[in-house]
Structure 1
Amino acid sequence: MYAIQALEMDPARSAQQILLCNYCQSEPLQSHCDLCRVDLCITCVGKHLADLSKTHNVVPYVQKIVSSKYPKCLNHSPKQCELYCDKCDVPVCSICISNEHNGHNVSDILKKIESKRSSLRTDLEELETRIFPRYEAIASDVQVEKTEAETDYEKLMKTADQQGELLHQEITSMVNQRKCDIEDIKVKHLAVLNQYSKEITQSIDKLQKTILDLRNILQSNDISLASAYVSRNAEFRRLPPKIQITSPTLSPLMINTETLYEMFGPLSTLSIAKRERGCIKKTPKAVSPPPLKPLLDEPLISATIDTEYRPSSVSCLSDEEVWICGNGKTMKLNNLKGEQLKTIQTKSGNTPRDIAVTHGGDLVYTDPETRSVNMVKNEQIKTLIRLHKWDPLYLCSASSDDILIAMLSDDRKQSKVVRYSGSTETQTIQFDDQGKPFYSAGDYKYISENRNLDICVADDGAEAVVVVNQSGKFRFRYTGYPSITKESFDLRGIATNSQGQILVADRHTFNHRIHIIDQDGQFLRYIENCGLVHPCGLCVDIRDDLFVSEYWSGKVKKIQYLKSLR
């Protein structure tokens, strides 16, 4: 009924046209989410509201038409502004474009405002999920520094007292004088930290106000507010500089009654410096979907590589070259003929746990023995990251040029995924909104980033593929294709393709197959019955062909499972 009423109210649409749901594209629409700007049928409303990562405002579709009123022109009342001047960046009416905006490029105002609202939503998400948490972390660090400073100064005072006791009554006045010197420096030190803490708090207040203003704009139908909005995200991306303060030290000397004051020991001056923290990278945008490639009825093995050892991980350099690592201390670059093009030995001589190729074509690998992540560039190895109390296991290169690493704690009781930009930790994914861990404490956690920026982990200990979005919010958990008899799910490698599909290796004794699921966790089909033996590592090349390492057979196989569009 709502779709029919909407047609009657909207003269731009034919009375014979049926408006369909934006989600399923098959059922007549009845509702509209005002914040997400999507039209929904009655069935898809529930699915849309199930996404708790954002706020929704679902109304009958008729109210969408009513809420899409054009603003009144400020210069030519009561004319409505149905257009937008791209040059002047303001709403205009028909009279405006005939006068002061004559000859300017104009566009439909609703489309323009929707574009601005999309930018607002992007700014809000970046402020809430990336920038604001960093400011909170900085504020917390300042509080820790203040506590440490108090502790350091307490130690200085104790040192002064101990030296004073040795000198007894003769140097009582000197001890008091030196303590006064320390107290003066302490006041200056804490004054600097207090001022810095105040500045950080003021920045956080501004951030919170900006976030609140953005929320009010997004919840308001007042187009003029969105039109007048000017993004401050660039300002907030540049984090406050870090203050480096070197606390004074007290170095007691041997007591000499003739030069008591000098022998008490010099007190160094307070050193204060600022070091730039850098700028937070903008949130990467999801890539638009490529043309749909149907699945082949029967997968085809197009190449087989004999590795001469037991390969556990693979990563594509191109559609004809693949890096391989296994049960040795070397990483090998092979072509489809099985020829070794390069051989790189790990820096420590240990066996690498996992490898990945960056977007720049460099190789990175994890070394749990040294708790390090290393990069091979021009055949030179550089240590990027060295961890403390955590072992790096599996990793992947993200679309933003970041590195995602699955790691396990020393006590083998905790697991987490950490995002690094270069050598800087920028995100930790470990617990859900209820404080429960996402991942088991097992050793096998192959990881991949999907086309929509979801982070997918094949968690063998949990017998599940755990998927969270780029902000670390839970999306779904895939535990295998449902059947009458529940089969064990022995997970190893994971990969994603240009279609947003997730491929995961199942090397259970009776399975030897690859599961293919879509980006929402729905099972599509198996890759099986093509001679796979204990599939382990997976990677997908630029043509979406799949490379599979077979640990026990020592082979890497290239499989075509999608119909080619070329």
Structure 2
Amino acid sequence: MHPRRSAQKVLLCDLCKTVPLQSHCELCNINLCVNCMGKHISDLSKRHNVVHYFYRKSTPNYPKCPKHAEKHCEVHCEKCVIPVCSLCVSSGQHEGHKKSDILENLSVKTQVLQKDLEELETRIYPRYLESLSDVQTEKAEVKTNYGKLTTAVDQEGEVWHREITAIVNQRKSYIEEMKNKHLSTLNKNTKEITQNITELKQIISDLKSLLNSYDFSLTSRYKSRNSEFRTLPAKIGVTLPIFSPLKINKDQLNEMFGSLSSLSINTENSDTMKSPEGASSPPVKTLLDEPLLTATIKLEYEDKMYSVSCLSEEEVWTCDNNKMKLLNLQNKLLISVQTKSGNAPTDIAVTRDGNLVYTDTDNKTVNLVKNKQIQTVIRLQGWVPQFVCSALSDNLLVIMDSDDREQSKVVRYSGSTETQTIQFDDYCRPLYSSAGYISENRNLDICVADRGANAVVVVNQSGKLRFRYAGHPLSTHEPFKPVGITTDSQSHILTADHFHHFIHILDQDGQFLRYIRCTYPWSLCVDIRDNLFVVKYVSHAVDKIQYLSTQC
């Protein structure tokens, strides 16, 4: 029989069993007529999902019960987190456990899956594609950047070749000049001797003729000239020049040619993508119109302080020409520590676990103070450690000068192991002209107060130059001279302009925000509540300043 003319079975509503169905509840998996649909969805204990029958999804496949093979599980035990059948429920094994309809549970799980799928498709997967694109772009730049390095080395080689050729030619010219002078002297001597020989030959010939002549008149007139020739012409004494090449010191030659920083490959922790619900972030604080001086630590001794580092809101470490001292806001000396070598410490920093590190430029070491015991953790050769800070990763960042003070670089240490060196920009130009106070920002930028360059130099975590801040217009035309530097929870950069009596506040991108007026500020640090501690170099004091609002 033709299918179009065959009898068709009428599908009826699962509830009333009399009226043809029209809709389907995907949650309850039942078919509904128009009359029963309203009654069904009025049950607010469940989240019904009623659709037209032709748009229904396929019927869910109820899982079989592992204990009762002939049964399908229609209930989900929330406590045991397993599907159970009606026999399992009636057996009392899940008595007191919270249960839910397995289709409702499926609906909830489906929503979670849909949400995860949406996040993967719209946020996570595109970020991975973006990361891949970034890596591919960086790979494409590798050849160009390394080509620039090779070209720079070749150009320097050509300069050296020209200089060496010029030196060789100069030496050869000097040798030729000495040779000609030597030959000229010998030629003059030769001429004199030759002339004497000619005269002697003539005299000898004349004497022989005279002897053979037996002529008395001629013989009587003869005068001897032998005395003129008894003294031979002066003998030329010449000391030949000697070329004495210096032994080539390959290490010194290599250093003179120019340094090439080592390849530093660091695995950067990428920003974790927050879930759509969001995550906590540091409270936003605004700059006060008028900063508040909340405390002053006035020192009794005469030695000038030149570095400060916060241990807490109430206690700070300072260092002077003699020792390192822990002081509280009541001017009480809590701890005093002499350096291991007896030398004056150059800079200090408090580590993440509350210990103290200091640099000793005289013996080229970085040292750790723990429970008043001092341990040398870094010992340098050819370089002098100057300033130090404790990084967020609990590493140490040390800025140092070469022995001849011609070069400066920042080195990251994990314990005593060097893990990163930052010295040159992408064009092999020095990033720093001299070592200065150093701080790591919340965004992992590394900030250095380069007083020799009259600028704050900021690089990112990988060591790439982000910007240089050369000061903000003042009433004076004297150059900007940054000294101390620190950062806060808002990623602000604060630097002390000692000679102009200002502390500059910048945002993390180097944009000037505000001044804090302060007499002769030197070293800076910020505690966990963003209180600013300032060493006042001339007045032997430390000021505690509130410059941010406390309201979020």
TM category (shorter chain) comes to 0.5 to 0.7
Quote the Cα distance in structure 2 between the aligned partners of 1:518 and 1:395.
22
Deviation at 1:490, TM superposition (A): 2.0
1:380 aligns with 2:388: no
- After the TM superposition, which residues 45-444 of structure 1 pair with which residues of structure 2 at under 5 Å, given as runs? 105-113=113-121, 114-116=123-125, 118=127, 283=269, 289-307=281-299, 308=301, 309-328=303-322, 330-440=323-433, 442-443=434-435
Quote the Cα distance in structure 2 between the aligned partners of 1:104 and 1:289.
26
Equivalent residue, structure 2, for 1:523: 512
Partner of residue 451 from structure 1, selected from 438, 442, 446 = 442
1:428-484 C-alpha deviation (Å, 9 max, x unpaired): 1100001110110x35x0000011110000000000000000011111100001368
Q: 1:433 to 1:359 in 2, by over 3 A?
A: same
Does the aligned pair in 2 maintain the 1:536–1:550 contact within 8 Å? yes
Equivalent residue, structure 2, for 1:555: 541
Does the aligned pair in 2 maintain the 1:126–1:283 contact within 8 Å? no
Equivalent residue, structure 1, for 2:209: none
Deviation at 1:319, TM superposition (A): 0.7
Equivalent residue, structure 2, for 1:542: 528
Deviation at 1:121, TM superposition (A): 6.6
Deviation at 1:115, TM superposition (A): 2.7
Q: 1:366 to 1:128 in 2, by over 3 A?
A: farther
Q: 1:122 to 1:427 in 2, by over 3 A?
A: farther
Q: 1:386 to 1:527 in 2, by over 3 A?
A: same
Does the aligned pair in 2 maintain the 1:299–1:559 contact within 8 Å? yes
1:341-392 C-alpha deviation (Å, 9 max, x unpaired): 1111111111111000111111011011111111111211111111110000
Quote the Cα distance in structure 2 between the aligned partners of 1:315 and 1:361.
11
Q: 1:339 to 1:117 in 2, by over 3 A?
A: farther
Partner of residue 476 from structure 1, selected from 431, 455, 467 = 467
Does the aligned pair in 2 maintain the 1:449–1:496 contact within 8 Å? yes
Deviation at 1:562, TM superposition (A): 1.1
1:85-118 C-alpha deviation (Å, 9 max, x unpaired): xxxxxxxxxxxx979x868644243422423554
Q: 1:512 to 1:102 in 2, by over 3 A?
A: closer
Question: What is the identity, as a one-letter code, of the residue corresponding to 1:499?
Answer: Q
- Structure 1 residue runs without a partner (length 5+): 1-75, 77-96, 134-278
Quote the Cα distance in structure 2 between the aligned partners of 1:550 and 1:327.
15
Q: 1:539 to 1:484 in 2, by over 3 A?
A: closer
State the identity as a percent: 56
1:204-246 C-alpha deviation (Å, 9 max, x unpaired): xxxxxxxxxxxxxxxxxxxxxxxxxxxxxxxxxxxxxxxxxxx
Q: 1:285 to 1:485 in 2, by over 3 A?
A: same
- Structure 2 residue runs without a partner (length 5+): 1-57, 59-104, 143-264, 273-278
Does the aligned pair in 1 maintain the 2:266–2:462 contact within 8 Å? no
1:513 aligns with 2:502: yes
Q: Quote the RMSD (CA, aligned, Å).
A: 3.3
TM-score under structure 1 normalisation?
0.52
Deviation at 1:494, TM superposition (A): 0.2
Quote the Cα distance in structure 1 between the aligned partners of 2:498 and 2:550.
27
Quote the Cα distance in structure 1 between the aligned partners of 2:416 and 2:134.
24
Quote the Cα distance in structure 2 between the aligned partners of 1:120 and 1:384.
42
Partner of residue 464 from structure 1, selected from 455, 461, 469 = 455
Does the aligned pair in 2 maintain the 1:373–1:386 contact within 8 Å? yes
Quote the Cα distance in structure 1 between the aligned partners of 2:478 and 2:384.
31
Does the aligned pair in 1 maintain the 2:455–2:481 contact within 8 Å? no
Deviation at 1:120, TM superposition (A): 7.4
Quote the Cα distance in structure 1 between the aligned partners of 2:372 and 2:129.
44
1:169-197 C-alpha deviation (Å, 9 max, x unpaired): xxxxxxxxxxxxxxxxxxxxxxxxxxxxx
Deviation at 1:119, TM superposition (A): 6.2
Equivalent residue, structure 2, for 1:533: 519
Give the secondary structure class of the aligned counterpart of 2:115.
strand
Quote the Cα distance in structure 2 between the aligned partners of 1:288 and 1:458.
32
TM-score under structure 2 normalisation?
0.53
Structure with the greater alpha carbon radius of gyration: 2
Quote the Cα distance in structure 2 between the aligned partners of 1:480 and 1:102.
58
